[in-house]
Amino acid sequence: MCAVCGCGGTVTFDAPPRHLHAGSHPHTHDHHHHGTGDHLHYGTATLRDLSQARTIAVEMDILSKNNGFARTNRRALQTLGAYAVNLVSSPGSGKTTMLCRTIEMLGDTPLAVIEGDQQTSNDAERIRATGAQAVQINTGKGCHLDADMVGHAMEHLALRQGSFLFIENVGNLVCPAAFDLGEDAKVAILSVTEGEDKPLKYPDMFAASRLAILNKTDLAQYCDSDLAAYEANLRRINPRIDILRMSARTGEGLPEWLDWLRARHMEKQMGKTA
């Protein structure tokens, strides 16, 4: 069980079989969502103090191990000149539909997708139907991807030089904010049907994101959504966040999204800070 968020379970991968290329980055196969066996000693501390101190120590250990795997992923992506995007949102925001449209519009641009869900391979199958290669990670009871899972998934992908790697995280606006996957940017997708105060309710996620996409703008008129209020609340949490309005159904905002992706990819290739 993960001490950071309480999730746990068996992780499975669904990927087309392929041979690993020489130079694939290694990952240990231990499941690191477990506490250490270390004993903590605190003079006259209360039982509650001991419990809180141990929880903090285990959380730090888990995140430290995750960050090590994230650095390994980042080095592998840097070697390939690949740009990785961690797509985060609550369930039902339209991530997969947006991603399918993105893949179609990118055409022959080399790319790959890692799909994260607790169960089913439905989203990976939708991605593969576009012609893109995809690996499905099923986290069981787990509510987020971690860097070790992503590293193992990358070993099943034939990532080409200069690729885009899209990581569609498990639908959750809490835990994915804390876990670095080795990505270049977190992109938060927010449906306009979710409520203008969503950024204020889940500030860590939007503070950690480089771009926020207000999706399903074609529905805004039917649910009295105040898009200006969405943007104001996003900037209250993260004054530097980029914001795009989009409808994956009508195509609004998709060209601007592709421009954003290509510009960030170019920045990385030129050695600028991502």
Instruction: Say how far apart CA 230 and CA 212 lie, in whole Å.
Output: 10
Q: How far apart are CA 90 and CA 88, in angstroms?
A: 7
The pLDDT tens digits for 155-168 are 999 999 999 999 99
pLDDT of 179 reads: 95
CATH assignment of 48-269, given 3.40.190.10, 3.40.50.300, 3.40.50.1000, 3.30.1600.10?
3.40.50.300
Q: At what angle do helices 95-106 and 254-269 cross, to 10 degrees?
A: 70
Element (DSSP H or E) covering residue 111: strand 111-117
pLDDT in tens, the chain (274 residues): 465 666 766 788 888 765 433 334 444 434 444 333 333 333 445 656 655 655 555 566 778 899 999 999 999 999 999 999 999 999 999 999 999 999 999 999 999 999 999 999 999 999 999 999 999 999 998 899 999 999 999 999 999 999 999 999 999 999 999 999 999 999 999 999 999 999 999 999 999 999 999 999 999 999 999 999 999 999 999 999 999 999 999 999 999 999 999 999 999 988 854 4
59 phi-psi bin (left φ>0, alpha ψ -120 to 50, beta other):
alpha
For residue range 85-129, what is the model confidence (pLDDT) as tens digits? 999 999 999 999 999 999 999 999 999 999 999 999 999 999 999
Q: 111-117 and 133-138: which strand pairing?
A: parallel
Burial of 263 (0-12, 13-18, 19+ CB in 10 A): exposed
Count CA atoms closer than 13 A to 124's CA, side-chain side. 23
Tell me the backbone φ, ψ of residue 255, rounded to 5 degrees.
-60, -40
CA distance linking residue 87 with residue 106, whole number of Å: 17
- Dihedral sign for Cα atoms in the order 57, 58, 63, 66: positive
Q: Residue 95 and residue 88: Cα distance in Å, rounded? A: 8
**Amino acid letter at 94?**
G
Return the closest-CA partner of residue 128 out of 103, 107, 152, 91: 103
- Name the nearest CA neighbour of 3 among 49, 25, 36: 36
**pLDDT for 61:** 73
